[in-house]
A and B are shown apart, each in its own frame.
Chain A
Amino acid sequence: MVDLSKIVPLSPIQRRDFIKGALLAGLAGCTPHDPFTNEAKKENVQPSGEMVKLLSTTGEIIEVDKAYLKPTEEIPSISNMAERMGIEGKKFVMVIDLSRCRNLKKCQEACNHAHFVSDFQNWIKVYPMQDAETTAPFWQPTTCMHCDDPPCVKVCPVDATFKRQDGIVGIDADRCIGCRFCMAACPYSVRVFNWDKPIIPQAVKDLPYSIETSCPPKIGTVSKCDFCPDMARKGELPHCVTACPNGVFFFGDIYEDTVTNGSETVRFSELIRDRSGYRLMEELGTKPSVYYLPPVDRLFPFKNEQNS
């Protein structure tokens, strides 16, 4: 499989800005200056007189007649196979610092917006938690744990939910048969189902489904947090990480042993060791890739600011 992302440097997110029938130069490279005009002349296209500016492959601005541009079908930047394989040599982890969370739900907002999550559904949930009556309450954001021994993957009959080499558990909505077995199996209740037709802009609806953006959502299939691998490919952080004003979320690569929340970058192993990081429901043996830092020395008092 050819990794098209290396040839056409278009990320799926940028692709979303293209409306169907996007003007894409398919013949770049015929002449360095104006591949469009020459090729169009060969095909006997009549110029319309309306000129548009384009950036050529060599970085020059060129002017081309609008009639010479041919709308092409959307080309997915990465093949389905490459998306299933994942990014080589990476193993993504997330660290969630409970001492910083004040339930602002900016993470949730950004996530829902980026992934066109249906109304009333969330990939990130912020739970008010308390272990026992006498212990301190805290806010606990949860995403998909991208388990290393994921029960959802085990039960999926058609390989629609799968584990990638970079540790991400992805969903192929073109494959999913909607049996919802994975929802029954996930102990963290992070999966949501598209019960009704998703309400999304036509331009998004027309995109080919991408595992890395989980877009467009499809009726009758399951979706959940995907760790934003499309952002990782661009070298950027997941939407929740950048959206959180308190830097609750750290994201990184366990092989590099670094995680960052955008402003601070720290050694993952040191952070987990020094702050006694832990994972949720360790006893189930799912081996999550999301670590929590206990809510000690809290930056904010526990109160529900969101709903008040």
Chain B
Amino acid sequence: MSSTKITSDLLPQKFGKTGRIWTAFLILLCLNGLYCYYKQVTLGLGITGMRDYASWGIYISNFVFFVAISLVGSLITAIFRLTGVEWRTPLTRISEIIAVSAILFASIIIIVDMGRPERFTHLFLYGRLQSPIMWDVIVITTYLTISILFLYFPLLPDIPILIKNSKPGSRVQKFYKFIGSFWKGTAAQFKISENAVKIISVMIIPVALAIHTVTSWLFATTFRPGWDSTNFGAYFVSGAFLVGAGGVVVAMYVFRRAYKLEAYITDKHFNNMSKVVVMLALLYLYFNINEYLVPAFKMKKAEEHHLHSLFTGHFSGLFWSAIILGMIVPVVVLLFPKGRKPFPAFLMGILVVIGAWFKRFLIVTPTMLSPFLPMYDVPESYHHYIPTWEEWSITIGSLAGTLLIITIFTRLFPIIPIHETIEEMEHSKPEKT
């Protein structure tokens, strides 16, 4: 494949009709979310379905979900890089932009959950390090910064290509020049950039593990049955790997279809990523068994209500679908070579992602509704948690927001690194022939 063909294949394309409809749809969802948030700010959190017992709801579940899916950035870019997985190149930018947009919305949704968002600055004025929330603030900011750098550095070699191929004097070209015209592509610059990326890929792994562990500690540092677990850090990390990998499979499929990238994101990628998903799903299953079997075997009094609500009670439908559809079915399907073809892998990726979202809901809500002292002397509505439409709108708005960032990003930048692809194709040619 010639480098001109690669360049023209991978350059960002103008939105077609579907692209425009899709973007408009996302913007609409975001606006609806914004409207509901405005309502929430003026009327208070009373418009949500949360009450004194279930005082955290789908906002927090969504937050944990965002944090989880953002792990994919470090999985694909850092871990695959360090372990020398070669087929990762077309996936790196996809996973990195998922990571950046997810972590961005994680920080937004956590402010949405606050009863007094205007006092956000109090975290800096009066912040106390003993609170796991402060740990989360620190580690999320660090991860966001590193992830943006991780997106930015490998983007630099592509920028001259973008400048060359955009309309002279256009606003887009000015933007490209603004973010990267210092990049001349000299050997020295390449060396610096390469070293920087190497350092970041080592750095990002502990930070990525920390962000999930700290998020799990938000729960595990309390006494509540269901959260009072030493397994939580590892459980969250493995779950995050799984949903991240699932998310990448879905994104791979969508980009391949939308931008006709069959030559770059090949069946081999689906095959390999599917195997990764199987491995991670098995790992996550293992931690789930630890998480539920051990307390269920002992059935301590405080745990009883919580576990019953999951296994046979109010949340059992959701619980078993998350386990069976979100983990077991993908494992079974993806074990077969036919299941690892793009389309079935895509479907399994969707199952994994949706299952993961509900899993986060199941981590938060059933525990909140299983307090140590019985729920008594409170109105009927306090016994249940049913998110209101405003809550759903805000949550869906935030999910649409991440997709919107990804969409706009792909409109501006090549979703598969052009320079790197050319390099690789040129390098691998003599070896293969």
Is A185 a contact of B221 with CB atoms below 8 Å?
Answer: yes
| Those of A177-196 within 8 Å (CB) of chain B | 177-181, 183-185, 187-189, 191-196
Q: Does A136 contact B (CB under 8 A)?
A: no
> How far apart are the CA atoms of A70 and B379 in the complex, in Å?
47
> How far apart are the CA atoms of A192 and B223 in the complex, in Å?
18
In angstroms, how far is the closest chain A Cβ from the Cβ of B140?
13
Q: Does B404 contact A (CB under 8 A)?
A: no
B interface footprint on A12-31 (CB within 8 Å = 1, 0 otherwise): 00000000000000000000
Q: Does B50 contact A (CB under 8 A)?
A: yes
> How far apart are the CA atoms of A196 and B48 in the complex, in Å?
10
Q: Does B126 contact A (CB under 8 A)?
A: yes
Is B376 a contact of A128 with CB atoms below 8 Å?
Answer: yes
Is B44 a contact of A197 with CB atoms below 8 Å?
Answer: yes
Is A156 a contact of B131 with CB atoms below 8 Å?
Answer: yes
B interface footprint on A245-283 (CB within 8 Å = 1, 0 otherwise): 000000000000000000000000000000000000100
Counting chain B residues whose Cβ lies within 8 A of the other chain, the interface size class is 35 or more
Q: Does A154 contact B (CB under 8 A)?
A: yes
Is A142 a contact of B373 with CB atoms below 8 Å?
Answer: yes
A residues in contact with B127, CB < 8 Å: 157-158
Stretch at the interface among B52-60, B241-249, B337-345, B417-425: B52-60
Is A195 a contact of B51 with CB atoms below 8 Å?
Answer: yes
Chain A residue with Cβ nearest B219: A184
Is B115 a contact of A183 with CB atoms below 8 Å?
Answer: no
Q: Does A82 contact B (CB under 8 A)?
A: no
> How far apart are the CA atoms of A183 and B52 in the complex, in Å?
8
Decide: A154 near B374, CB < 8 A? Known: A184-B222, A192-B52, A219-B115: no
In angstroms, how far is the closest chain B Cβ from the Cβ of A211?
15
In angstroms, how far is the closest chain B Cβ from the Cβ of A24?
31
Q: Which of A128, A157, A175, A219 contacts B131 (CB 8 A)?
A: A157
> How far apart are the CA atoms of A128 and B219 in the complex, in Å?
29
Q: Does A237 contact B (CB under 8 A)?
A: no
Q: Does B43 contact A (CB under 8 A)?
A: yes
In angstroms, how far is the closest chain B Cβ from the Cβ of A207?
19
Chain B residue with Cβ nearest A132: B301
Is B52 a contact of A193 with CB atoms below 8 Å?
Answer: yes
Chain A residue with Cβ nearest B382: A120
B residues in contact with A159, CB < 8 Å: 126, 128
B residues in contact with A126, CB < 8 Å: 377
A residues in contact with B119, CB < 8 Å: 158, 175-178
Is B128 a contact of A157 with CB atoms below 8 Å?
Answer: yes
In angstroms, how far is the closest chain A Cβ from the Cβ of B118?
9
In angstroms, how far is the closest chain B Cβ from the Cβ of A96?
14
Q: Does B4 contact A (CB under 8 A)?
A: no
Decide: A125 near B218, CB < 8 A? Known: A158-B126, A177-B115, A178-B114: no
Is A189 a contact of B120 with CB atoms below 8 Å?
Answer: no
> How far apart are the CA atoms of A290 and B187 in the complex, in Å?
71
A residues in contact with B123, CB < 8 Å: 157-158, 177
Q: Does B378 contact A (CB under 8 A)?
A: yes
Q: Which of B46, B56, B126, B375 contacts A180 (CB 8 A)?
A: B56
A residues in contact with B133, CB < 8 Å: 155, 157, 179, 181
Q: Does A122 contact B (CB under 8 A)?
A: yes
Q: Does B234 contact A (CB under 8 A)?
A: no
Decide: A178 near B45, CB < 8 A? Known: A188-B373, A189-B373, A284-B223: yes
Q: Does A221 contact B (CB under 8 A)?
A: yes
Chain A residue with Cβ nearest B53: A189
Q: Does B429 contact A (CB under 8 A)?
A: no
Q: Does A76 contact B (CB under 8 A)?
A: no
Q: Does A294 contact B (CB under 8 A)?
A: no
In angstroms, how far is the closest chain A Cβ from the Cβ of B383?
12
Q: From B53, B56, B119, B125, name the one whose CB has the most chain A CB atoms within 10 angstroms.
A: B119
Is A195 a contact of B378 with CB atoms below 8 Å?
Answer: no
> How far apart are the CA atoms of A98 and B393 in the complex, in Å?
47
Chain B residue with Cβ nearest A286: B223
> How far apart are the CA atoms of A197 and B56 in the complex, in Å?
19
> How far apart are the CA atoms of A157 and B136 in the complex, in Å?
10
Q: Can you name 6 A-B pairs with beta carbons within 8 Å?
A: A177-B120, A180-B113, A180-B115, A184-B224, A189-B371, A194-B115
Q: Which 5 A-B residue pairings sit nearest by Cβ, starting from the closest?
A: A178-B115, A220-B115, A196-B46, A195-B46, A157-B133
Residues of chain A whose beta carbon lies under 8 Å from any beta carbon of chain B: 120-122, 125-128, 142, 151, 154-160, 175-181, 183-185, 187-189, 191-197, 219-221, 281, 284
